[in-house]
A and B are shown apart, each in its own frame.
Chain A
Amino acid sequence: MSRRPSFLLLAMMLLAIPVRPRAACLAPPQPRLHLPDFTGQGGELVVIVNPQNGVAQLTPEEVTNLFMGRQKRFASGLVALPVEPVGDAERRSRFYELLMNVPMSQVRAFWARMYFAGQVQPPRQAQNSDEVIEIVLANKGAIGFIEKAKLNHRVKAVLVLGSPPSP
């Protein structure tokens, strides 16, 4: 009997561990202006959708839910098709660092858990930002991310991640 309270105490302590504020652990609703550059690549990343997608803006939490497969549709009911540039490993890592504050290895482990349980399909893979834009243009429900320098009027930006270059 003496072990039961000790286990419960341990579990309660674990749940009560002080962690970094949620806003720093996952994407905060406010624009991120002072996040460190995890990859040394610098610059902002822009989350883009097809212009015909009715959504005007997304929060980091909403983007996280769409890319992690927790939500398979936009609020309008449109089926979401997340796209990521796997040929650009640094940008891909930076995206998840900025969005969720987790390294790519942890994202891969998460996807393995979901995929091999038959729960969701990982994001569609593109080689680079140009291909991400092509897929977003060709699919009304597609959502991807590119560097801000690649942004053009043919796609719609719904979220900006990362800090702008220091003055």
Chain B
Amino acid sequence: MGPARVRSQSLGLALTLAAGLPLCAQEPAPRWNFSGFGTLGVMATDTDKVGFIRDLSQPYPGATDHPNARPDSRLGLQLDLRVSDTLHGAVQVVSKERYDGTFKPQLTMAMLAWNPVSNLSVRAGRLPLDQLLGAESRDAGYSYLWVRPSLEVYGQFPVSQFDGVDLAQTFDLGGGTLLVAKVFGGFEQEDVPIVGSPPYRDSGARAAGFHFDLTRGPWTFRYAWDTGRPHHDWPPKISILETAMAQYAIALSDPRLAQTGTGLGLVGSSARLWGVMGAYEGGRIQAQASFTRFTTNRLISPNLWTGQASLGYRVGQVVPYAIYSRVDSGHPQPYLGVMPSLPDPITTAVVAGVEYAVAYAHSDRHTLAGGLRWDFRPNMDLKFQVDHIQNHNSLVDWQVIQPGWNGRANAFTLTYDFVFGRGR
């Protein structure tokens, strides 16, 4: 059964549920609502030696020292249908810079949500992926404090929706304390550009996981865990290296070379992510901290940890804030045996290719940022943020690094966020 078939069946199931349910509305139904959100953002860095990207799905060339409105600008439209007081549906389309450099609108949500019994929620269709706090609304700039979710944490996991089902049960622990347990399962679509190669497009990657939210007043804590299995492999250039290493393993009687080759592929691999997060939003303070750990069994997608801490303090309608974020994958080296010492040019090229492919996947950088959010009118804000980025050993987190770059960049961003309709 192909992934596309599974997805169409899950949507069909959701529609069947909607059609067959009794309407027990306490108010006139159905009720349509049209709403939307948008960001007009302009940014520039102080260097032309690297291309800044917001997340790993953004393409060449990235933002440099010329004003650039592409990374942060976006527009989302949403249509909601409240069928009854226990059933509603929503469709959302977002236009933003894609892996191919276009702003072609993408269907980011098409789901039905059902609340059949007390505090149980069941959703099916195309759903937001919400393992990281706030990740499910990462495109709606008005909904969060910063100019953008940090590349070090959110940008490492650019997939923001999946096709499948999630279930959430809320437990009242008393005294206003709630525990939400949520499980999900389905298929993801991931599109990532690769420098000098066709993009990596993986439709039908399996994903499943759960998270627990503990909420009391202004506090929220989350523990999240999920796992994923890619469905497609990298583009041909990397697959050729995988095949070559298998042949060298035979020719040199060194099975570990075959393991290196296998480590360059994605099909058959699995990835896991777990994270702990906390947020406080009360009075004048908005604070958030997170730590996530991502592990795989492949060289080409190295283990990494990410962390972030942010703090904002409201003064009237203005909130000054600061963020520190970090990602570190370590520096795993591929096992190449005696290959580097072999003189023939083909082996030299294969060694260079393997070493570059592994190095390209490294992430090791941190950002210290400060900014202001000004809610100057209802449903609108202006933000200004300065990012000071220190690159230690990241290639994948930038578009094209020119020789001679000192590893530091400052980014300056001004955004205007708005929402309209029911979501305000």
Residue of A nearest to B76 (CB): A116
The stretch from A10-18, A41-49, A158-166 touching chain B is A10-18
Chain B interface size, under 10 / 10 to 19 / 20 to 34 / 35 or more = 35 or more
Query: How far apart are A77's CB and chain B's nearest CB, in angstroms?
Result: 5
Cα A122 to Cα B379 with chains together (Å): 14
Chain A interface size, under 10 / 10 to 19 / 20 to 34 / 35 or more = 35 or more
Indicate whether A152 reaches chain B with its CB closer than 8 angstroms: no
The stretch from B97-105, B168-176, B266-274 touching chain A is B168-176
Q: Which residues of B contact A11 (CB under 8 A)?
A: 289, 291, 307, 309
Query: How far apart are A58's CB and chain B's nearest CB, in angstroms?
Result: 10
Partner of A72, one of B37, B115, B217: B115
Residue of B nearest to A63 (CB): B176
Cα A119 to Cα B176 with chains together (Å): 20
Cα A90 to Cα B51 with chains together (Å): 46
Q: Is the CB of A14 within 8 A of B289?
A: yes
Indicate whether B109 reaches chain A with its CB closer than 8 angstroms: yes
Q: Which residues of A contact B119 (CB under 8 A)?
A: 71-73
Indicate whether A64 reaches chain B with its CB closer than 8 angstroms: yes
Q: Is the CB of B140 within 8 A of A116?
A: yes
Query: How far apart are B82's CB and chain A's nearest CB, in angstroms?
Result: 6
Q: Is the CB of B217 within 8 A of A61?
A: yes
15 pairs of residues in contact across A and B, judged by CB atoms under 8 Å: A15-B289, A19-B285, A26-B217, A73-B118, A77-B117, A79-B26, A102-B218, A104-B378, A105-B317, A108-B142, A109-B143, A115-B35, A121-B80, A121-B422, A139-B26
Q: A95-128: which have CB < 8 Å to B?
A: 100-106, 108-119, 121-122, 124
Residue of B nearest to A10 (CB): B309
Partner of A115, one of B82, B285, B311, B422: B422
* Contacts A14-B311, A71-B172, A113-B140 given; does A122 touch B423 at CB 8 Å: yes
Indicate whether A34 reaches chain B with its CB closer than 8 angstroms: no
Q: Which residues of A contact B285 (CB under 8 A)?
A: 17, 19
- Decide if the interface of chain B is mainly helix, strand, loop or mixed: strand
Indicate whether A153 reaches chain B with its CB closer than 8 angstroms: no
Q: Which residues of B contact A110 (CB under 8 A)?
A: 143, 281
Query: How far apart are B182's CB and chain A's nearest CB, in angstroms?
Result: 10
Q: Which residues of A contact B326 (CB under 8 A)?
A: 3, 7
A126-146 to B contact mask, C-beta < 8 Å, 1/0? 000000000100111110000
Q: Which 7 A-B pairs give the minimum distances between C-beta atoms?
A: A61-B176, A26-B217, A25-B282, A117-B136, A105-B375, A113-B143, A115-B423
Q: Is the CB of A117 within 8 A of B128?
A: yes
Partner of B127, one of A4, A109, A118: A118
Q: Is the CB of B422 within 8 A of A62?
A: no
Cα A61 to Cα B193 with chains together (Å): 46
Q: Is the CB of B379 within 8 A of A65?
A: no
Q: Give me the interface of B with A, judged by CB distance under 8 Å.
A: 26-27, 35, 37, 76, 78, 80, 82, 85-86, 88, 90, 92, 109, 111, 113, 115, 117-119, 121, 123, 127-128, 130, 134, 136-137, 139-140, 142-144, 170, 172, 175-178, 180, 215-218, 278, 280-283, 285-287, 289, 291, 307, 309-311, 314, 317, 324, 326, 328, 366, 375, 378-379, 381, 419, 422-424
Cα A141 to Cα B84 with chains together (Å): 13
Q: Is the CB of B176 within 8 A of A64?
A: yes
Partner of B115, one of A29, A79, A122: A79
Partner of A26, one of B85, B136, B218, B381: B218
Partner of A79, one of B85, B218, B311: B85
Residue of B nearest to A19 (CB): B285
Q: Which residues of B contact A19 (CB under 8 A)?
A: 280, 282-283, 285
Query: How far apart are B390's CB and chain A's nearest CB, in angstroms?
Result: 10
Q: Which residues of B contact A81 (CB under 8 A)?
A: 26-27, 85
Q: Is the CB of A112 within 8 A of B423?
A: yes
Partner of B37, one of A71, A112, A114, A140: A112
Residue of A nearest to B117 (CB): A77
Cα A112 to Cα B190 with chains together (Å): 25
Cα A3 to Cα B85 with chains together (Å): 51
Query: How far apart are B345's CB and chain A's nearest CB, in angstroms?
Result: 38
Query: How far apart are A124's CB and chain B's nearest CB, in angstroms?
Result: 7
* Contacts A11-B309, A100-B218, A112-B419 given; does A62 touch B176 at CB 8 Å: yes
Q: Is the CB of B27 within 8 A of A139?
A: yes
